[in-house]
Amino acid sequence: MTDPKRFERIAFLASQAEDARAAQESLTAKYGQAPLEEADVVVALGGDGMMLQTLHEGMGQRVPIYGMNRGSVGFLMNEYSEDDLPERLAAAERTVIHPLTMRARDRNGRIHVAKAINEVALWRQSYQAAKFRIEVDGKPRLAELVCDGVLVATPAGSTAYNLSAHGPLLPLASPLLAMTPISPFRPRRWRGALLPDRAAVAIDVLEDEKRPVAAVADNTEFRDVKRVEIALDRKTDLVMLHDPGHGLDERILAEQFGW
């Protein structure tokens, strides 16, 4: 166990939910509120959306983030308790994950860059299906994919939208990315691919004016894209803390057995 004194300076961040705001007020009264730039740890109060927001805001700072569930969905969060917080933080297991970098070029030639912790997704913007051409490491792999969209997910994000789109669950330590089509029409039997996490993915939008497409990195969206390049950013470490026995590895394993 880490020395609890290592986590004396705690910054509490809360979502807009009433329960999260009330928890922040109560915890701040009990443990104080450190300035974010001086904190030993950040405690995020809310649901998974709040955890993702906090991870994005702390990207590159290497400050560990411990989430407590005060929202509707809490896959990434720990159970809420106000007791013995420094001791819980000291006993917590560390999980280090890396985000994806999305580089998107729109039809006007503008370049947009964003990070994604869960997934990068390309969506049709109109009633017509989208058409894509997919390259992996510069080699064409799929000349034409007709579908509502396609996404590339990290292991941490494989339990999110990727799972809802019938993509595979990935153990957190696996050196893989999941590429999953959304409502594929052609090829009918293509259900996606598992890629090495060192792979460089490029997706070209075919017939982009007739079939416009938006690219989304977690919650950052760019519209009317023509080409999207996706790669794992190994230089950026994101550190999450979970109570012993409740880390992401265990949760991903349990999810596969329907728990």
DSSP 129-185: PEEEEEEETTEEEEEEEEESEEEEE-TGGGGTHHHHTTPPP--TT-SEEEEEEES--
Query: To 5 degrees, how large is the angle CA 4–CA 8–CA 10?
Result: 120
Q: Is 161 annotated as a binding residue?
A: yes
Tell whether 159 is in a known binding site: yes
Q: Is 32 annotated as a binding residue?
A: no
Catalytic residues: 48
Is position 80 annotated in a ligand binding site? no
The answer to the question of whether 232 is labelled as a binding residue is no
* 3 assigned binding-site residue: no
Give me the amino acid identity at 225.
V
Which residues make beta-bridge pairs with 215?
A: 122, 222
Q: Is 119 annotated as a binding residue?
A: yes
Q: Is 137 annotated as a binding residue?
A: no
Residue 162 marked as a ligand binder:
yes
Question: Strand (E) positions, 197-256?
Answer: 201-206, 213-217, 220-222, 225-232, 238-242
Q: What is the DSSP string of 32-65?
A: ----GGG-SEEEEEESHHHHHHHHHHTTTT---E
Q: Which residues are annotated as a binding site?
A: 48-49, 118-119, 148, 156, 159-164
Q: Which residues are annotated as a binding site for NAD(+)?
A: 48-49, 118-119, 148, 156, 159-164
